[in-house]
């Protein structure tokens, strides 16, 4: 009953460092998403993968790259972290978009 698993839960990076946020789901969902949550701004879509083998940009893709490794896994990479990327990152998955997403518990990232 794991659902959506994100690693790590917390990370502190220095400006210019790179890192990859990992996400895996065990519900056999076709679609996966990466969102960031910032105070007063709700959740904003970074990238999504409608199905295995496809990825598309969301509302705020600059500074990020993604990989849909297989049906289960969808990773988010920051090549050169900036303080503006300090945020809480959520991965989500869904089978049918109108049935709601299942979210992971989030990764709190601080870039100093």
Partner 1 sequence: DQQVKQNSPSLSVQEGRISILNCDYTNSMFDYFLWYKKYPAEGPTFLISISSIKDKNEDGRFTVFLNKSAKHLSLHIVPSQPGDSAVYFCATNTGGFKTIFGAGTRLFVKA
Q: Which of 111, 109, 110, 91 is nearest to 101 (CA)?
A: 91
In the complex, minimum distance from the CB of residue 95 to partner 1, in angstroms, rounded to a whole number: 12
23 touches partner 1 (CB under 8 A): no
CA distances from 111 to 21, 42, 51, 57, 60 (A): 14, 20, 31, 23, 17
C-beta atoms surrounding 46 within 10 Å? 24
Which residue stretch of 12-20, 33-41, 69-77, 79-87 sits at the interface with partner 1 (rule: CB under 8 A)? 33-41
| Member of 26, 56, 79, 95 binding partner 1 (CB under 8 A) | 56
Interface residues with partner 1 (CB under 8 A) are 4, 31, 33, 35, 40-45, 48, 50, 56, 58-59, 90, 92, 97-106
């Amino acid at each position: 009953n794991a659902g959506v698993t994100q690693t790590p839960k917390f990370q502190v990076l220095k400006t210019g460092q790179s890192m990859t946020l990992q996400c895996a789901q065990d519900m056999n969902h076709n679609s996966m998403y990466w969102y960031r949550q910032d105070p007063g701004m709700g959740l904003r879509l970074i990238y999504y993968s409608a199905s295995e083998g496809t990825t598309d940009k969301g509302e705020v893709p600059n500074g990020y790259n993604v990989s849909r490794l297989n049906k289960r896994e969808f990773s988010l990479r920051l090549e050169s972290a900036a303080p503006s990327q300090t945020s809480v990152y959520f991965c989500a998955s869904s089978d049918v978009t109108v049935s709601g997403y299942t979210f992971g518990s989030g990764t709190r990232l601080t870039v100093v």
